[in-house]
């Protein structure tokens, strides 16, 4: 039987229903906001797989093209692999719900969110978060929810919930928040250098909308009275835990004093192998669990040292930033490059400049668009000293690249100021925490090295958290182990003027606003420290572009002249490209972009195009080429693609019987425009340029002169 609830969700009405469709799933809900409808299902396996010691949760968000009345492009005409947008939405749904499953629940669980109807006005990823929470909360799957989510924009200092795509065009800040009734679990934000105070204000505003969505879920649950499944908890014998602890506690203090990551990990690997060899015969069913159990002891000891002594794995205090080095121009043939190293994390930023034809075309449900700034992130296995498969970008690469890209977006100059397409690739060469924020720093340095007119640097820092009975410890610039063993990964990027990018993930059931405020303050101090180091290396963009970067010239031609530039079947534009060696892009609005390795070629191509679109004017004089001779006159090309008729009577003052006796096709003749009729046909005259006593044979033109006797001013006929 269908059950439905509807209520306020900011300035909209949110509806959640269950019991009508997808009833064979453990839980399924339909979430509706105006004409946006999304189905979210939750399914868990009945039993845990034998030997499985982790929680296998997968989340997939999919958008159907029919949701907005479209047919997919391409040969197959069906939805294919998930687009970046869908992957980012899947990550957004996954992160707030993952920490809310019981620690001993290991049954495989899958969340599928499918968008069936969309009005194309608002982003629907937030509905996926609400739907996933509701599907789990109303199912028999154990889940310590519910959670809610909301998108907030700040426009002219005013906060708006569930903003439309049109409203986001003018937003100073966009933030997506997820959380419980009392805490925040996930934040994603891009901003135009906003203050920490404005960001907190937007988060608090969004949290009120979160409470509204949670209230609806609870009211619907009251109608259903769901009973949760009985599952087999994953239990490890206390005796095994104690034996592992006895050995680990004796060895780990020494290992945890090793500051260098690879050496520390090598010693830890040896310890795990030693304990495993000693205990595997007595506990064969738990042999595969021994490394994780040793890690549990290590986690406890690392956290205790931070809480009690304020000392971290590499010897730093909680607010200390690792040693930072910056280099620019490290790759001479690249248009802009920078190497940013922070501790044992290293990013090589490689920047390429292109033209408008290099822009990325994006086909989304709300329509086709393009973007001229891209940042791509590569994370090869050698960066963490491992052997791994090299394949296309995964969810990690797409997510980290997107965060770094939107963190830098605020300083990218407008197309009018800098008409280039910009692509930055962050190659992670070493990784020990916060490689996405290192990508922000290397990308910012590469922008200035390339001569892109950015006004200031952007730097990023990752903050961590250790919760304990008496409070919390916030860590600046966390390493990999501190991320793995800690309770929060809080990344903040920005300039000296304000925040440009933000991401928060928690491994607990959320953090309070008080902790969040303290995190912002500490992150700002760290960011300013990093910005100072970057400014010491390069504080403003280079004055000129790399000699290997394309030189661009932009100008506009009338729309009705575009065809003249392109020519029949593209013949004319291909000819210009072949002649000059440039690259030419022409937009539908008539904007022409010419790119070449040198300015001379670009200017040559521009002159050709301008001559094509130039209008012939009455009274102007041209040196035209004869293209055709008839019994009544000659056709002369005044400009490329523009011909005029010179009547036989306009060649000379005296009567001419046959023009072919005096000029040939290919000759150059100087003529004056004497008429342009209503249809645009042009008439020219050579005679109009001759004095009253001048005759055709007295002033030689064209190739006929080459056949004359060099020792005589008269033609052979005169003699």
By C-alpha distance, which of 207, 221, 71 is closest to 134? 221
Does residue 229 lie within any of the structural domains?
no
Does residue 315 lie within any of the structural domains?
no
Query: Over the stretch 64-109, which tens digit does the pLDDT of each residue have?
Result: 988 988 888 777 888 888 899 999 999 999 999 999 999 889 999 9
Q: Are 96 and 125 within 8 A, CB to CB?
A: no
Question: Whole domain around residue 600: which residue ranges?
Answer: 551-613
- Enter the tokens of residue 230: 């009985």
Question: Dihedral of the CA atoms 251, 254, 257, 261 (nearest 10)?
Answer: -60
What CATH number has the domain bearing residue 288? 1.10.10
| Mean of pLDDT values over 492-499 | 97
**50 and 127 share a domain?**
yes
By C-alpha distance, which of 217, 209, 207, 166 is closest to 5? 217
Q: Is the pLDDT confidence value at 10 over 70?
A: yes
| Mean of pLDDT values over 17-44 | 96
Q: Domain tally for the chain? A: 5
Q: What is the structure's pLDDT at 716?
A: 40
| Mean of pLDDT values over 317-326 | 97
Query: Over the stretch 246-294, which tens digit does the pLDDT of each residue have?
Result: 999 999 999 999 999 889 989 999 999 999 999 988 888 888 888 889 9
User: What would the 3-class secondary structure string for 195-244 be?
Assistant: CHHHHHHHHHHHHHHHHHHHHHHHHHHHHHCCCCCCCCCCCCCHHHHHHH
**Residue 129, phi then psi, degrees to nearest 5:** -65, -50
By C-alpha distance, which of 447, 451, 446, 434 is closest to 493? 434
- Enter the tokens of residue 528: 């300013």
Q: What is the structure's pLDDT at 287?
A: 84
- Enter the tokens of residue 342: 């922070």
Q: What is the C-alpha end-to-end distance of the chain, expressed in Å?
A: 114
Q: What is the structure's pLDDT at 366?
A: 67
299: pLDDT confidence band, cut at 50, 70 and 90?
Answer: very high
Query: Over the stretch 120-172, which tens digit does the pLDDT of each residue have?
Result: 899 999 999 999 999 999 999 999 989 999 999 999 999 999 999 999 999 99
Q: What is the structure's pLDDT at 699?
A: 40
Residue partners of 652: CB distance under 8 A and separation at least 6:
686, 687, 690, 695, 696
**287 and 392 share a domain?**
no
Query: Over the stretch 521-562, which tens digit does the pLDDT of each residue have?
Result: 999 999 999 999 999 999 999 999 998 898 888 888 888 888
**440 and 476 share a domain?**
yes
**157 and 276 share a domain?**
no
- Helices 196-224, 125-137: crossing angle, 10 deg rounding: 40
- Give 709's DSSP letter: -
Does residue 717 lie within any of the structural domains?
no
**294 and 406 share a domain?**
no
What CATH number has the domain bearing residue 685? 2.40.50.140
Tokens 């002369």 sit on residue: 636
Q: How far is 409 from 190, CA to CA, in rounded Å?
A: 8
**77 and 32 share a domain?**
yes
Q: What is the structure's pLDDT at 368?
A: 74
367: pLDDT confidence band, cut at 50, 70 and 90?
Answer: low
Does residue 657 lie within any of the structural domains?
yes
Query: Model pTM?
Result: 0.84
Q: How far is 623 from 598, CA to CA, in rounded Å?
A: 29
- Enter the tokens of residue 699: 């002033």
**264 and 391 share a domain?**
no
What CATH number has the domain bearing residue 609? 3.30.1370.10
Q: How far is 458 from 444, CA to CA, in rounded Å?
A: 6
**515 and 581 share a domain?**
no
Query: Over the stretch 139-153, which tens digit does the pLDDT of each residue have?
Result: 999 999 899 999 999
| Mean of pLDDT values over 658-683 | 90
**Residue 355, phi then psi, degrees to nearest 5:** -105, -175
Query: Average pLDDT over the chain, rounded to whole?
Result: 90
Q: Is the pLDDT confidence value at 33 over 70?
A: yes
Q: Is the pLDDT confidence value at 376 over 60?
A: yes
Does residue 377 lie within any of the structural domains?
yes
Q: Is the pLDDT confidence value at 212 over 70?
A: yes
Q: Is the pLDDT confidence value at 692 over 80?
A: no
Of 537, 570, 599, the residue that ends a domain is 537
| Mean of pLDDT values over 688-711 | 52
Does residue 314 lie within any of the structural domains?
no
Q: What is the structure's pLDDT at 81?
A: 87
693: pLDDT confidence band, cut at 50, 70 and 90?
Answer: low
Query: Over the stretch 578-611, which tens digit does the pLDDT of each residue have?
Result: 989 899 889 888 888 898 888 788 889 998 888 8
Does residue 233 lie within any of the structural domains?
no
| Mean of pLDDT values over 433-448 | 97
Give 608 or 352, the one with higher predicted confidence. 352
Of 195, 224, 253, the residue that ends a domain is 224
- Enter the tokens of residue 693: 């006593």
């Amino acid at each position: 039987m269908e059950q439905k609830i509807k209520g306020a969700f900011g300035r909209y009405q949110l509806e959640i229903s269950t019991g009508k469709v997808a009833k064979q799933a453990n839980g399924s809900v339909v979430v509706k906001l105006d004409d946006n409808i999304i189905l979210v299902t939750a399914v868990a396996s009945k039993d845990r797989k034998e030997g499985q010691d982790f929680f296998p949760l997968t989340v997939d968000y999919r958008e159907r093209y029919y949701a907005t009345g479209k047919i997919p492009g391409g040969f197959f005409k069906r939805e294919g692999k998930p687009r970046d947008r869908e992957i980012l939405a899947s990550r957004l749904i996954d992160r707030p719900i993952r920490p809310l499953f019981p620690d001993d629940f290991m049954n495989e669980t899958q969340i599928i969110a499918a968008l069936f109807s969309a009005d194309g006005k608002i982003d629907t990823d937030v509905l996926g978060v609400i739907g996933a929470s509701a599907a789990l909360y109303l199912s028999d799957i154990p889940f310590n929810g519910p959670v809610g989510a909301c998108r907030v924009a700040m426009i002219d200092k005013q906060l708006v919930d569930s903003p439309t795509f049109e409203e986001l065009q003018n937003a100073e800040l966009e933030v997506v928040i997820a959380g419980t009734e009392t805490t925040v679990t996930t934040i994603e934000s891009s901003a135009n250098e906003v203050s920490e105070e404005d960001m907190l204000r937007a988060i608090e505003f969004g949290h009120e909308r979160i409470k509204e969505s949670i209230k609806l879920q609870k009211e619907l649950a009251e109608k259903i009275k769901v009973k949760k499944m009985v599952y087999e908890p994953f239990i490890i014998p206390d005796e095994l835990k104690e034996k592992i602890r006895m050995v680990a506690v004796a060895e780990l203090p020494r290992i945890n004093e090793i500051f260098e990551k690879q050496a520390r990990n090598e010693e830890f690997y040896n310890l795990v192998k030693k304990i495993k060899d000693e205990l595997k015969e007595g506990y064969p069913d738990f042999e595969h669990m021994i490394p994780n159990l040793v890690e549990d002891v290590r986690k406890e000891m690392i956290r205790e040292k931070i809480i009690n002594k304020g000392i971290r794995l590499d010897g730093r205090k909680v607010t200390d930033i690792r040693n930072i080095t910056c280099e620019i121009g490290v790759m001479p043939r690249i248009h802009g490059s920078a190497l940013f190293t922070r501790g044992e994390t290293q990013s090589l930023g490689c920047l390429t400049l292109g033209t408008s034809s290099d822009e990325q075309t994006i086909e989304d449900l709300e329509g086709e668009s393009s973007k001229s700034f891209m940042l791509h992130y590569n994370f090869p296995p050698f960066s963490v000293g491992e052997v791994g498969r090299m394949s296309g970008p995964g969810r990690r690469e797409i997510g980290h690249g997107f965060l770094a890209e939107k963190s830098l977006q605020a300083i990218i100059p407008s197309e009018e100021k800098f008409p280039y397409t910009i692509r930055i690739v962050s190659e992670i060469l070493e990784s020990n925490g916060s490689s996405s924020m290192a990508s922000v720093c290397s990308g910012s340095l590469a922008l200035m090295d390339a001569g892109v007119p950015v006004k200031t640097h952007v730097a990023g820092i990752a903050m961590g958290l250790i919760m304990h009975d008496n409070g919390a410890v916030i860590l600046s610039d966390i390493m990999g182990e501190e991320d793995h063993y800690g309770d929060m990964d809080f990344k903040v990027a920005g300039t000296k003027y304000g925040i440009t990018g933000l991401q928060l993930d928690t491994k607990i059931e959320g953090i309070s606003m008080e902790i969040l405020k303290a995190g912002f303050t500490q992150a700002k101090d760290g960011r300013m420290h990093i910005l100072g180091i970057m400014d010491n290396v390069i504080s403003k963009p280079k004055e000129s572009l790399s000699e290997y970067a394309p030189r661009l010239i932009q100008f506009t031609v009338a729309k009705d002249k575009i065809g003249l530039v392109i020519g029949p079947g593209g013949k004319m534009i291909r000819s210009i490209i072949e002649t000059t060696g440039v690259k030419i892009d022409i937009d539908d609005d008539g904007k022409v972009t010419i790119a070449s390795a040198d300015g001379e070629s670009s200017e040559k191509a521009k002159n050709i195009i301008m001559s094509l679109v130039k209008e012939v004017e009455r009274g102007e004089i041209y040196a035209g080429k004869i293209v055709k001779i008839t019994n009544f006159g000659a056709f002369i090309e005044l400009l490329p693609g523009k011909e005029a008729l010179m009547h036989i009577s306009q060649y000379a003052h005296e009567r001419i019987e046959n023009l072919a006796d005096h000029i040939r096709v290919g000759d150059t003749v100087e003529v004056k425009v004497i008429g342009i009729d209503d249809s645009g046909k042009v008439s020219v005259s050579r005679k109009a340029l001759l004095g009253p006593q001048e005759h055709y044979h007295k002033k030689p033109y064209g190739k006929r002169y080459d056949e004359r006797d060099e020792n005589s001013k008269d033609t052979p006929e005169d003699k």
